[in-house]
Structure 1
Amino acid sequence: MSYETETGVTLIELLVALSVLAILLTVGVPSLAGFVSSQKLDTTVQLLKDSYSQARYEAVTQQRPVFLCPLDIATGGCGNNWSDGVVSYHDLDGDNSYDPLKDTKLLQNEFPEGVVIEYKKNCFQIKLTAKGTTGDNGTFAMTVSEETKTLVVSGMGRIRNG
Structure 2
Amino acid sequence: MHYKIVYNKSNESKSIATGKCRRENVSYPTHYYQKKSLMYQTQKGFTLIELLIVITIAAVMAVIALPNMNQWIASRRAASQAEQIANLLRFARNEAVRLNLPVYICPVKIKSDGSPNNGCNSQYAGNGMLAYADKNEDLRYQNDTVDLSIRSIILNGDTDKVEYSFNYIPIGTKHSAPSSSAAKEEVWWRFLPNGTFGHSTDGKDYQFSDGHIKISLTDKSAADAETKKARATVLLINGNGHVEICAKNDERKMCEYTSKE
Correspondence for 1:128 among 170, 191, 205 = 191
Cα displacement (A) at 1:161: 2.1
Matched, 1:138 2:138: no
Per-residue CA deviations over 1:27-81 (Å, capped at 9, x if unaligned) read 1222222221122122111110000000000111222210001121251542323
The structure having more radius of gyration, on CA atoms, is 2
Matched, 1:109 2:162: no
Consecutive unaligned residues of structure 1, counting only runs of 5 or more, are none
Q: TM-score, normalising length from structure 1?
A: 0.84
What is the alpha-carbon distance in structure 2 between the residues aligned to residue 143 and residue 30 of structure 1?
A: 17
Tell me, what secondary structure is at the counterpart of 1:119?
Answer: strand
Inter-CA distance 124–97: structure 2 relative to 1 (3 Å threshold)? farther
Larger CA deviation: 41-50 vs 106-115 = 106-115
Tell me, what secondary structure is at the counterpart of 1:102?
Answer: coil
What is the alpha-carbon distance in structure 1 between the residues aligned to residue 118 and residue 66 of structure 2?
A: 37
Contact 1:64 1:130 in 2 (8 A): yes
Matched, 1:60 2:125: no
1:1-162 to 2 correspondences below 5 Å: 9-74=46-111, 75=117, 77-80=119-122, 81-100=124-143, 101-112=145-156, 113=159, 114-120=161-167, 121-134=184-197, 135-136=208-209, 137-144=212-219, 145=222, 146=228, 147-162=231-246
Consecutive unaligned residues of structure 2, counting only runs of 5 or more, are 1-33, 35-40, 112-116, 168-183, 198-207, 223-227, 247-261
What is the alpha-carbon distance in structure 2 between the residues aligned to residue 76 and residue 20 of structure 1?
A: 54
What is the alpha-carbon distance in structure 2 between the residues aligned to residue 70 and residue 141 of structure 1?
A: 16
RMSD after superposition: 2.5
Considering Cα pairs closer than 8 Å and 6+ residues apart, tell me whether 1 or 2 has the greater RCO. Answer: 1
Contact 1:79 1:124 in 2 (8 A): no
Q: TM-score, normalising length from structure 2?
A: 0.55
Q: Percent identity?
A: 23
What is the alpha-carbon distance in structure 2 between the residues aligned to residue 76 and residue 35 of structure 1?
A: 35
Contact 1:71 1:110 in 2 (8 A): no
What is the alpha-carbon distance in structure 2 between the residues aligned to residue 36 and residue 76 of structure 1?
A: 32
Cα displacement (A) at 1:13: 3.1
Partner of 2:22: none
Cα displacement (A) at 1:133: 1.7
Inter-CA distance 108–142: structure 2 relative to 1 (3 Å threshold)? same
Amino acid of the structure 2 residue aligned with 1:140: I
The number of residue pairs the alignment matches comes to: 162
What is the alpha-carbon distance in structure 2 between the residues aligned to residue 7 and residue 51 of structure 1?
A: 57
